[in-house]
Structure formats: C-alpha cells, structure tokens
Structure 1
Amino acid sequence: MLLLRNGGRVNQKDVTGVTPLAVAAEHGHFHIAEILLNCGSSVNSQACNGESVLLDAVGSGNTDCIQLLLDNGANPNLPSLTGHLPIHKAAYAGHYDALKMLIPLSTKKAIKEAGQSPVHSAAEGGQIRCLKLLLACGYDVNYRMNTRNSENYRDMRKSALYFAVSNGDVHCTKILLAAGAKTDLDPLCCLLVAVRSGCYDIVKLLLAAKADVNCYFTVVNDTVFPTALQYCLKDEVMMRLLLNNGYKVERCFQCQHDNAFEAANERTIPVRNQSFWCLNLTVIDSFFFG
C-alpha cells in the first residue's frame, strides 16, 4: 500500500510484460491481488509470451485467487502465444479443483483454436484424476493436435494416447484406451513407441485394444518392412509377444521398394540383397529418437 500511495503504478510491466497482479496471482497471494484489483490493475493483462494473469494464477493452483480473478472479469479463453489456455495449464499441473472451475468456462471455440485438448495436457503431465474428470465431462479422447502444435515435437505426435505411451505411463494409457482411444492416429504408431521402450505392460494393453502388430512407418520409409522388428531383435520376450499376436514374419523377406519390385508382384528377395533395409531402419530410428 505504501508504494501505491506514493505513485506506484499497478499496471507497470517488467521487461517480460508481467504486471504486479500477475506476480501476486502466480504465487497465490490472494490479499495482495485483491488490493491491486481494487486499485485498478488490469485483470486481463498478458505478458510478452501471451500468458494471462489467470493462467499465472492457475499455475499456483490457488482456487481463491482464481475465483477472485474470475469475479473481476478475467477471461478464461485468452490463449498464450503457444495457444495454451488456463485449462491446459490446470490439466497439465494436476490442479484438480482449478480444472473443475475452468471446464464450464472454457469454450469449444477457444480450445479448437488452441489446437490442443486439455486431455493432451493431462496425459502429458500424467495427471490421472484430471484425465478422468475431462473424459467424464465429455472431452474427445481422440482429439488430434493441430499441425502447429504437433510440429513442436520431433515425432510429430497427434494423440493424447501417444503422450501416455511415450511417457511409459501405464495408468493413463489404460484410462485412455478404456475411453475408446484409437491406437493409430499418429505418424509413428503408439505400439512401435512402446515396443522400442520395452514397455511390456503397455504393449499388452495396446494389443488387447487391437493395435496393428504389423504397423510400419511410411514417412521416411517406403517399404512394408515390419518396423517393430528392429526394436525387439535382442528382446525374446517382446518378440514372442508380437509373434503370438499375429506378427507377419514373412514381411521381413518381401519388398516393394521400387517399380521393378512392384512389377514382380511382391517377389521374395533374400535378406542379404536388401542393403537398403539397414539404411531405412537407421533413418527411422534417428529421425525420431536420434
């Protein structure tokens, strides 16, 4: 109050565009935030990165601060420059009570423009309670991230299930599959990620959900060589798991790499003559995991 009485400006921003109200909200200082609001602080101010005061408050998980801002006109649908909304932050951080407050206030239009569902955020953060809440409230388990957000990840992931699988999160994977998550929405199939990571429990869950055991990656590989093979050559348990679920071994000895092979009607070629196989397998692995 002393600073305010002596000319302190409540909407003065620092070099990152953050206001005193945003700092108070971020640290959950309810009474200070209340004073600043009463003195005219802008409740919908955004920092240079587009993060709003409400988004900062959600990061603290302090529901009193969140409610104070909402009561004073805070907009829950203001996106940051990355497209994230307060609901995304609540879901990722596992702030269950904050998430309950934001679900009815976050519009479908804002989430669509964000290009990412809060289900993605909950799965990425491994937040089981938040994930269950969002699914119970009708959020689409198969919502796909838009290209802008997907390109932030080396593997160009799209689905919430991919986040859970890549994290090795058995619980979130099980929840998403039980809610009807599809296993083939991403450029790199979830099953391949689980096989490469040696996550037997997740592989079993995906296979039980009818994931294609013979899936292969086509973005950098134009053959039908079964990609999963390279990830379990030294893992007999994983190999047997795949074989017992319909793995087609004969594809290891077939190729349609160019028109000559196509004209030969899938002619069987000895492995020793397929030097490009090793190249393709190396490219796939380094493309995503190198």
Structure 2
Amino acid sequence: GSGNLDCIKLLLEHGANPNVASYACQLPIHRAAYEGHILALRTLIPVTTKRAIRLSGQSPLHSAADGGQAESLALLIQEGFDVNALLERHISEYYDDLRKTALFFAVSNGDVTCSELLLEAGAQTDLDPLRCILVAVRAERLELVQLLLSYGADVNCYFRVISNTVFPTALQYCLRDRIMLRLLLNSGYQAYKHV
C-alpha cells in the first residue's frame, strides 16, 4: 500500500479491522513494516492484536527485515516485538531454505544494518535450519560473517535438512575465498575434525 496515513486513519475511524489478514497471511502492519511506512506503522502497532499477529504466522519484524527497513525494524524492537519470533511452518515452508527468523531475512539480503539491529536486540544466530553464518559465508559477505561471529555464531555448524551426513558446510561454502577461509579458521573452525 501507499502508507497514506490520512486514509489509514479514516478507514480505522469507520470500522476497518486491522486484524484481518490477506490471503497471503499478511496484516496491514506487515505491509507498513515491509514498505517502511513509519507513520502508518506507529498508527497500526497499538490497534493490531498480538493474537492476530500470532495467527498470521509471521511477525512484522520478518516483514521489516525482508524489506530492508531499518527504521521500521528499530521501531518494532523499541515497541517490544520479539526479535526471536519464528515464522510458522505454513509460512516457512514457502521458502526452500525453511527460514524462520527475521535475522535470516536480513542476512540473506546482505543487510548489515538490519542484522546488527536484530543482533543488538538479542537475536539468536542458531534458530534457522540453515544457520545465518552459513548463508553469509555462502554469499561471501565478509562483514556479515564477522558481525555474526562477534555475536557468537557457531562456525562449526552443519546444514542437515537435506541429509544426516555430517559435512563441513562452512568449508564447502568458502573454498573459493581465502580471506573467508582464514577468518573461519581464526574463529575456531575445526578443519581437522572434518578430515
């Protein structure tokens, strides 16, 4: 939507329900967060119920991170939205990587600013099946890898959704990049364990 505050206020005054989700399971608060319509977001936060957000299967934080909207993200964090909220299964399954967290959206977009906001607010790095650190390594995003490591991301994690085989995932992703490989080794990557 356009985020037109006058229209939103008029609709709310005449009984529009901000707690009704679209067919895509999105509430107006999700669109406002994704598009970065801060004034609309400020208006929608107090009138959107936690129940409606829970039933939608996604947090507005996911939307803000997906849209790369740092200001929306900061406002939602300030308003007490859970930075570790997980996408419900019916939403997560739409993504091949089965992502669950707002942090994953930020990292997969290569967005250092949004990632840092989430991490500073307490986002955990290990809640997604494909760990955020592996996404950053695979995308050769050195700054994001350093940021995630500084917040305790496990460099020795594995991606086991496809197979139970223990394979050195991070090593596989960084073979083309000596700087990334050196960073991982200096950060405790246990290469000897995988040989």
Q: Same fold (TM over 0.5)?
A: yes
Flag structure 2 segments of 5+ consecutive residues without an equivalent: none
Which residue of 1 is the match for residue 26 of structure 2?
Answer: 84
Are the counterparts in 2 of residues 226 and 251 from structure 1 also a CA contact under 8 Å? no
Do residues 230 (structure 1) and 167 (structure 2) align?
no
Flag structure 1 segments of 5+ consecutive residues without an equivalent: 1-58, 254-290
Are the counterparts in 2 of residues 191 and 206 from structure 1 also a CA contact under 8 Å? yes
Equivalent of 1:103 in 33, 39, 45:
45
Cα deviation, residue 76, structure 1: 0.5
Q: Once the two structures are aligned, what percentage of the paired residues are identical? A: 61
Q: TM-score, normalised by structure 1?
A: 0.66
1:152-193: CA deviations, max 9, x gaps? 111110000000000000100110000000001111000000
1:221-246: CA deviations, max 9, x gaps? 32222201111112110000000010
User: After TM superposition, which residue ranges in structure 1, 4 or more long, deviate above 3 angstroms?
Assistant: none
CA distance in 1, matches of 2:167, 2:92: 26
Cα deviation, residue 81, structure 1: 1.5
Aligned to 1:132, the other structure's residue is in SS state: helix
Equivalent of 2:99 in 149, 153, 157:
157
Which residue of 1 is the match for residue 158 of structure 2?
Answer: 216
Are the counterparts in 2 of residues 195 and 228 from structure 1 also a CA contact under 8 Å? yes
Instruction: State how 1:251-262 maps to structure 2 within 5 Å.
Output: 251-253=193-195
How many positions carry a matched residue from both structures? 195
Structure 2 counterpart of 1:63, which letter?
L
Q: TM-score, normalised by structure 2?
A: 0.98
Instruction: State how 1:16-165 maps to structure 2 within 5 Å.
Output: 59-165=1-107
**Greater C-alpha radius of gyration:** 1
Structure 1 counterpart of 2:13, which letter?
D
CA distance in 2, matches of 1:95, 1:234: 40
Q: CA RMSD in A?
A: 0.7
CA distance in 2, matches of 1:143, 1:222: 26
Cα deviation, residue 150, structure 1: 0.4
